[in-house]
Amino acid sequence: MKKVFTIGRYFRKKLGEEVYKVPLSIAGFTCPNIDGTVAKGGCTFCLNESFSPNLAEKSSKKFYLHPDRPENPLLPKQLEQVRRQYDATSKRLAAKYGVKKFIAYFQSFTNTYAPFDTLKALYEEALRQPGCVGLSIGTRSDSVSDEILDYLADLSQKYEVWVEYGIQSIYDETLQKINRGHDSANVKEWIEKSKAKGLNVCGHVIFGLPDETETMMLETVRTSLTWGIDSIKIHPLYVVKNTALAVDYLKGRFTPIDESTYIRLVVQSIEMLPKNVSVQRVTAGINDDTLLAPEWCRCKHTQMKHIRKALKEAGYIY
């Protein structure tokens, strides 16, 4: 049996012990696909609270960050959120799993979409917290800059630094259908730049996007690997209420991927990963009344049980 090279195994190999991610959700962050800069309404499936289960505090309704506006009256509150959220989650993880090292994970919305001074202040506050050995920054490829990447590359000399890009699909027609607001060439460009600057890159892909075939989904994984990603997250597309995708679903214009197809594609994706590419996530879901479909995305525990079984049959231990 082969062991899937999970991110946990990557951290144990590189840092010699368990490292857990501590999700952070900072008020005032938004996304250029939501604030109208590149598109309006966001990705058709996006209800950010649903995709960030640890979203503890919603963003301020009164003030949102923008990279071109240097003022940020929320900074003291944001710094306090970093300290408080990190403290609460790291202590809980330490008590439950005995883990002592953590990566501060800027998860919700687009975490490079803010004035540079704000980003520096928040990232460095996180790195000052006890046991914090690095950063993981979730973002979009149209929301990074050479200035940010150079700064992160400097930090990476001392810390474990990851940039997580939403790839979702390499097909522009799909990206248009989900109102992504950027094309695939933009993702390729910034992933390759990030790699050239020495950063660790994680790529998110989604299976079950509108009108995609299995061949297209696997091609997204294959092509993302050629761009140099170091790690992958794979999600099924699920439908939550109050999204454009929910309207399509309710009108019969969108059918979610079924579980057996999804699992088969996950196994095939893992089979194509080079040895050095780690796996951060192979499923996603939400167990509350925002979920419309598919029902199998309600319980991540059951999903993982089925995925582990399929991987075992293919000769892998997850």
Interface with ligand SF4 (CB under 6 A): 31, 33-34, 42-43, 46, 48, 109-110, 140, 166
Residue bearing tokens 């990476």: 156
- Annotate 217-239 with DSSP letters as a single string: HHHHHHHHHHTT-SEEEEEE--E
* Least distance (Å) between residue 142 CB and ligand SF4: 9
Nearer Cβ to ligand SF4 (11/109): 109
In angstroms, the CA 36 to CA 241 distance is 21
* Least distance (Å) between residue 271 CB and ligand SF4: 28
Nearer Cβ to ligand SF4 (110/156): 110
Rg of the chain on CA atoms, in Å: 19
Residue bearing tokens 């990603």: 229
Nearer Cβ to ligand SF4 (33/169): 33
Residue 1: alpha-carbon gap to chain centroid? 29
Query: CB-based burial of residue 185 (10 Å sphere; 0-12 exposed, 13-18 middle, 19+ buried)?
Result: exposed
Structure tokens at 10: 């990557």
Nearer Cβ to ligand SF4 (40/84): 40
3-state SS record for 120-165: HHHHHHHHCCCCEEEEEEEECHHHCCHHHHHHHHHHCCCCEEEEEE
Contact status, residue 171 vs residue 142, Cβ threshold 8 Å: no
CB-CB neighbours of 229 under 10 Å? 25
* Least distance (Å) between residue 30 CB and ligand SF4: 8
DSSP character at residue 63: -
Nearer Cβ to ligand SF4 (141/156): 141
Query: CB-based burial of residue 1 (10 Å sphere; 0-12 exposed, 13-18 middle, 19+ buried)?
Result: exposed
Nearer Cβ to ligand SF4 (156/174): 174
| Single-letter amino acid, residue 259 | E
* Least distance (Å) between residue 39 CB and ligand SF4: 8
Nearer Cβ to ligand SF4 (246/310): 246
* Least distance (Å) between residue 29 CB and ligand SF4: 9
* Least distance (Å) between residue 183 CB and ligand SF4: 14
In angstroms, the CA 224 to CA 299 distance is 28
Contact status, residue 62 vs residue 27, Cβ threshold 8 Å: no
Nearer Cβ to ligand SF4 (72/168): 168
